[in-house]
A and B are shown apart, each in its own frame.
Chain A
Amino acid sequence: MALDAAVADRLRPDRPRLLPAVAVVIAAALLAVGGDVVGLLARESGAAPAGDTAGPLVAVLVLGAWLLADAPYAFVVGQVGLVVGLDGGPSSTPIAQAALVGILVADVAAAHRGGDRVRTALVAAATALLLFAIVEYGASTPVAAAAVLVVTALVGYTIHRYERLRLGLVGEAG
Chain B
Amino acid sequence: MQPTRRTWAVVLLAVAAAVAAWLFDRPALLAATAGLGAWLVAAAYGFLRSVAAVDDALSVGVSVAPERAIVGEPVAVTLRTAPVSTDATATVRLRFPPSLSTDASPADATVRLLGDVGAETTVPVTAPVAGEFTIPSPVLDVTGPGGFFEQTVTRGPTATLSAIPRHPDDLNLGGSDREAATLEGAYREDRRSRGTEPAEIREYVPGETADRIDWNATARLADTYVREFEVESAIEARFVLDARTASRTGRAGETPLDYLREVALGLLELSRDRQDPVGLAVVDDDGVCDLEAPQTRRAGYERIRRRLRSLEADPQPDRRPARRRPSGPSPALSRAGRCSSRTTETGERSGTPSTRPAARAGRSSCFSPRRSSSRRTHWRTCPPPTSVTASSSGSGTTWTPSTASPSSRSTPARPVGPWRSTPPNSPPDRSTPT
**Contact residues in B for A72 (Cβ distance below 8 Å):** 10, 13, 36, 39
State how many angstroms separate the Cβ of B52 from the closest Cβ of chain A.
6
Please tell me which stretch of A29-37, A48-56, A123-131 contacts chain B, meaning at least 4 of its Cβ atoms lie within 8 angstroms of it: A123-131
Complex Cα gap A124–B15 (Å)? 19
The number of residues on chain B lying at the interface, defined by a beta carbon within 8 Å of a beta carbon of chain A, is 47
B53 proximity list for chain A (CB < 8 A) = 116
Interface residues of B in 21-48 (CB under 8 A from A): 21-22, 25-48
User: A111: which of B17, B28, B87 is its contact (CB, 8 Å)?
Assistant: B87
Given known pairs A111-B46, A156-B44, the reply for A83 and B35 (CB within 8 Å) is no
Complex CA distance for A130 and B31, rounded to whole angstroms: 11
Interface centre among B34, B41, B145 (most CB of A within 10 A): B34
Roughly how many angstroms separate A88 CA and B31 CA in the complex, as a whole number?
Answer: 11
Decide if B206 is an interface residue (CB 8 Å cutoff). Answer: no
Residues of A within 8 A of B47 (CB): 163
User: Is B151 an interface position by the 8 A CB rule?
Assistant: yes
Residues in A with CB closer than 8 Å to B94 are none
- Residues on A with C-beta less than 8 A from B52 are 163, 166-167
Contact partners of A107 in chain B: CB under 8 A: 39, 146
Chain A nearest CB from B91 CB (Å) reads 16
In the complex, residue of chain B having the shortest beta-carbon distance to the beta carbon of A149: B18
Are A104 and B38 within 8 A (Cβ)? Answer: yes
Report B206 CB to chain A, min CB distance, Å.
78
B224 to chain A, nearest CB (A): 76
The chain B residue sitting closest to A143, CB to CB, is: B22
B37 and A148: CB pair below 8 A?
A: yes
B299-353, CB < 8 A from A = none
B6 contacts chain A at the CB level, 8 A cutoff: yes
- Interface membership of A12, Cβ < 8 A: no
A71 engages B33 (CB within 8 Å): no
Nearest-Cβ distance from residue B13 to partner chain A, whole angstroms: 6
B34 and A132 contact, CB distance less than 8 A: yes
**Which A81-117 residues have C-beta < 8 A from chain B?**
82-83, 88-90, 92, 97, 100-101, 104-105, 107-108, 111-113, 116
Chain B residues whose C-beta falls within 8 Å of the C-beta of A162 in the assembled complex: 48
Give 1 or 0 for each of A133-172: 1 = CB within 8 Å of chain B CB.
Answer: 0110010011011101101100110011011101101000
Q: Complex Cα distance A113/B86, Å?
A: 9
Which B residues touch A145, using CB under 8 A? 18-19, 21-22, 30, 33
Is B51 an interface position by the 8 A CB rule? yes
Chain B residues whose C-beta falls within 8 Å of the C-beta of A169 in the assembled complex: 153
- Cβ of B180 under 8 Å from chain A: no
Q: Is the CB of B36 within 8 A of A76?
A: yes
- Contact B48–A70 (Cβ < 8 Å): no
A89 CB contacts on chain B under 8 angstroms: 26-28, 31
In angstroms, how far is the closest chain B Cβ from the Cβ of A17? 12
A103 to chain B, nearest CB (A): 9
For A90, the chain B residues whose CB sits under 8 A away are 27-28, 30-31
Q: Does B17 lie within 8 Å of A163, measured CB to CB? A: no
A71 to chain B: which residues have CB within 8 Å?
39
Bound complex: CA of A83 vs CA of B144, how far in Å?
33
Inter-chain contact A159/B48, CB cutoff 8 Å: yes
Q: Is B55 an interface residue (CB 8 A)?
A: yes
- Whether B370 sits at the interface, judged by CB under 8 Å, is no
Would A79 and B27 be within 8 Å (CB), given that A159-B41, A166-B48 are in contact?
Answer: no
> Which residues between 66 and 120 of chain B lie within 8 Å of chain A, taking CB atoms?
87
Q: How far is the CA of A113 from the CA of B53 in the complex (A)?
A: 12
Tell me if B49 and A112 are in contact (CB < 8 A).
yes
CB of A98 to closest CB in B, whole Å? 11
Most buried by A among B27, B39, B42, B87: B42
Cβ distance B43 to chain A, nearest Cβ, rounded Å:
5
CB <8 Å contact, A73 and B13: yes
Knowing A72-B10, A120-B49, A128-B38 are in contact, say whether A113-B55 is a contact too (CB < 8 A).
no
Q: Are A79 and B32 within 8 A (Cβ)? A: yes
CA distance A131 to B31 in the complex (A): 8
Which B228-280 residues sit within 8 Å CB-CB of chain A? Answer: none
Instruction: Decide: A116 and B36 in contact? CB cutoff 8 A.
Output: no
Q: Is the CB of A163 within 8 A of B30?
A: no
> Smallest CB–CB gap between A35 and chain B, Å?
17
Q: Can you list 7 A-B contacts (CB < 8 A)?
A: A79-B17, A120-B45, A144-B30, A152-B40, A152-B41, A166-B51, A167-B52
Q: Can you name 10 extra interface pairs (CB under 8 A) apart from A82-B28, A89-B28, A148-B34?
A: A83-B26, A111-B46, A116-B53, A120-B46, A124-B39, A127-B41, A131-B34, A141-B30, A166-B52, A167-B151
